[in-house]
């Protein structure tokens, strides 16, 4: 890997892509940028390799759009293509443009194409769909799997959008935008492209693609065959009985692809129906840290203990509301971030909340709740409902609802939020989080916010 990319050089700041940031503290110890958290391993990796740098000495500017020429230039340099400025096949790309050599080299390699009118439109913002084509070609991705997105029609043609998106999902580069969607027409921002690039370059950043449950149907007959493909010509992999739930990941003609119990495969829609009862409410509660990972430690408190205490209270309150609760941990044990992110989808949950406490300089205080920029609007709504109740219940400074790519959020196909109860490093916040009264108030606020979310979702 290092030898392959040893010739990669930095390019103009205008062409540099960056990872998400929202002004969190503490900043990353591996970079000089104040708007990058220490949890941003991808940006640390890209920065230390010399592939990216910021828009200034202290900032990245993550929300800025990625233009087509910027993407072509970065990919070209990463692949060691000839970047010598020269004339291209596109009339709207100047021979003196910094991107011209990389654009033409990428065309010669079959990595990029222009528009039917012969233009490239270098200043146009790249879309997520175009990004899928670019990365799948640039890194010669060919493997596909059973991938479903509700906003992309299945098309087995090797040049289709579906195939390109399938390839990057199968390669662990993208999990979509949540709720079973990929959002191919959405403008690509530097935050997203940098994450995708890091995953393409370094295996440890890859995510395991998981289809999201987009529907829940029930078998109307006993001994319903589950098949390996969407027709009766495919082999039977098992059977389910009447009234068994099927978590649907996608549809192919008159067939649903999904999971029922331990069986995953295709189910005939002729023998499936919607439930007539009230929708289920199954929430994952993740008490952050645990075991050998104490999290933040300050003012006589360990974050892992506060998180677990509040989480257990939330569990009790949610159950009293008739909401089923799946706990990541109920004791002082440690689980990996990937295990936590995958737990809900593997166990039939429909949403995820991770509970944490914060740390910064002693003067910083208040509650805040996060959702990932790469997941659907449902995540933002979940985070908002919780935050609107939490800061009031804690008599805290309202630090708001913010986008951030925490791994338990960004790698999670479910609507997901991460709650920061308060700052253990702030004496006032810590005093409250040491108090049974305030921990009960925090738990009540989170449980009520979750109930608000379900009520909103079911309207």
Q: Mind listing the pLDDT tens digit of every residue in the chain (459 residues)? A: 333 333 333 332 333 333 333 233 344 456 777 776 666 778 778 778 777 777 788 887 778 888 999 999 888 888 889 999 999 999 999 999 999 999 999 999 999 988 999 999 999 999 999 999 999 999 999 999 999 999 999 898 999 999 999 999 999 999 888 888 999 999 998 788 888 989 999 999 998 898 999 999 999 998 999 999 999 999 999 999 988 999 999 999 999 999 999 999 999 999 999 876 567 799 999 999 999 999 999 999 999 999 999 999 999 999 999 999 999 999 999 999 999 999 998 999 999 999 999 999 999 999 999 998 655 678 999 999 999 999 999 999 999 999 888 999 988 989 999 999 999 999 999 999 999 999 999 999 999 999 999 988 877
Q: Which two tokens stand for residue 435?
A: 């108090």
Q: Report pLDDT digits (tens) over 77-87.
A: 888 899 999 99
Element housing 423 (H / E): strand 416-423
Task: Characterize 38-73 residue by residue with b for buried, 16 or more Cβ atoms within 10 angstroms of its Cβ, and e for exposed.
Answer: ebbbbbbbbbebebbbbbeeebbbbebebbbbbbbb
pLDDT value of position 373: 62
Residues in CB range of 230: below 8 A, 6 or more apart: 252, 253, 254, 255, 257, 266
Backbone angles phi, psi at 429, to 5 degrees: -60, -45
3-class SS at 398? strand
Q: Report pLDDT digits (tens) over 389-447.
A: 999 999 999 999 998 889 999 889 899 999 999 999 999 999 999 999 999 999 999 99
In this structure, is the dihedral angle defined by the CA atoms of residues 384, 385, 388 and 389, taken in order, positive or negative?
negative
Backbone angles phi, psi at 428, to 5 degrees: -70, -50
pLDDT value of position 38: 64
- Pairing mode, strands 398-403 and 367-371: parallel
pLDDT value of position 102: 94
Rg of the Cα atoms in the chain? 24
Dihedral-angle region of residue 408 (phi above 0 means left; psi in -120 to 50 means alpha; beta otherwise): alpha
Closest by CA to 73, choosing from 144, 115, 10, is 10
pLDDT value of position 2: 37
Please state, in angstroms and rounded to a whole number, the distance separating the CA atoms of residues 19 and 315: 34
The question of whether 420 is a catalytic residue gets the answer: yes
Torsion of CA 293, 296, 298, 303, to 10 degrees: -70
Backbone angles phi, psi at 317, to 5 degrees: -70, -40
Please state, in angstroms and rounded to a whole number, the distance separating the CA atoms of residues 78 and 320: 54
In angstroms, the Cα distances linking 365 to 111, 404, 422, 436 are 49, 19, 6, 19
The catalytic position among 420, 440, 448, 451 is 420
pLDDT value of position 12: 28
Q: Is the peptide bond before 26 cis (omega within 30 degrees of 0)?
A: yes
pLDDT value of position 30: 67
pLDDT value of position 55: 78
pLDDT value of position 33: 73
Q: Which two tokens stand for residue 13?
A: 């700041």
Q: Report pLDDT digits (tens) over 89-126.
A: 999 999 999 999 999 999 999 999 889 999 999 999 99
């Amino acid at each position: 890997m290092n030898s392959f990319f040893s010739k990669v050089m930095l390019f103009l700041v205008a062409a540099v892509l960056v990872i998400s940031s929202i002004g969190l503290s503490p900043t990353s110890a591996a970079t000089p940028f104040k708007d990058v958290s220490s949890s941003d391993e991808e940006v640390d990796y890209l920065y230390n390799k010399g592939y990216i740098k910021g828009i200034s000495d202290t900032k990245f500017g993550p929300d800025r759009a990625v233009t087509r020429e910027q993407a072509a230039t970065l990919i070209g340099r990463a692949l060691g293509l000839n970047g010598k400025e020269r004339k291209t096949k596109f009339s709207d790309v100047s021979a003196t443009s910094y991107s011209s050599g990389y654009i033409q080299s990428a065309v010669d390699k079959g990595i990029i194409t222009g528009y039917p009118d012969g233009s490239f439109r270098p200043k146009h913002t790249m879309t997520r769909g175009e990004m899928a084509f670019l990365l799948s070609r640039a890194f010669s991705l060919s493997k596909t799997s059973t991938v479903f997105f509700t906003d992309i029609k299945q098309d087995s043609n090797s040049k289709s959008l579906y195939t390109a998106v399938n390839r990057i999902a199968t390669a662990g580069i993208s999990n979509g935008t949540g709720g079973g969607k990929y959002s191919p027409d959405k403008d690509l921002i530097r935050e997203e492209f940098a994450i995708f690039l890091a995953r393409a370059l370094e295996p440890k950043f890859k995510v395991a693609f998981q289809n999201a449950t987009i529907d829940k149907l029930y078998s109307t007959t006993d001994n319903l065959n589950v098949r390996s493909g969407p027709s009766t010509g495919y082999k039977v992999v098992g059977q389910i009985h009447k009234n068994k739930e099927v978590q649907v990941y996608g549809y192919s003609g008159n067939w649903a692809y999904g999971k029922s119990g331990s069986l995953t495969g295709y189910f005939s829609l002729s023998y499936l129906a919607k439930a007539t009862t009230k929708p289920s409410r199954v929430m994952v509660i993740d008490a952050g840290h645990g075991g050998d990972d104490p999290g933040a430690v300050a003012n006589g408190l360990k974050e892992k203990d506060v998180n677990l205490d509040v989480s257990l209270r939330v569990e009790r309150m949610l159950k009293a509301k008739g909401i089923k609760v799946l706990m990541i941990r109920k004791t002082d044990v440690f689980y990996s971030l990937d295990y936590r992110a995958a737990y809900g989808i593997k166990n039939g949950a429909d949403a995820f909340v991770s509970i944490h406490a914060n740390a910064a300089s002693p003067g910083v205080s208040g509650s805040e709740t996060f959702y990932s920029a790469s997941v659907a609007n449902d995540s933002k709504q979940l985070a908002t409902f919780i935050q609107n109740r939490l800061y009031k219940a804690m008599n805290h400074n309202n630090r708001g609802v913010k986008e951030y790519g925490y791994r338990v959020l960004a790698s999670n196909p479910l609507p997901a939020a991460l709650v920061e109860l308060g700052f253990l490093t702030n004496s006032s916040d810590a005093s409250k989080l040491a108090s049974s009264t305030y921990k009960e108030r925090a738990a009540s606020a989170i449980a009520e916010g979750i109930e608000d979310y379900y009520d909103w979702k079911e309207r």
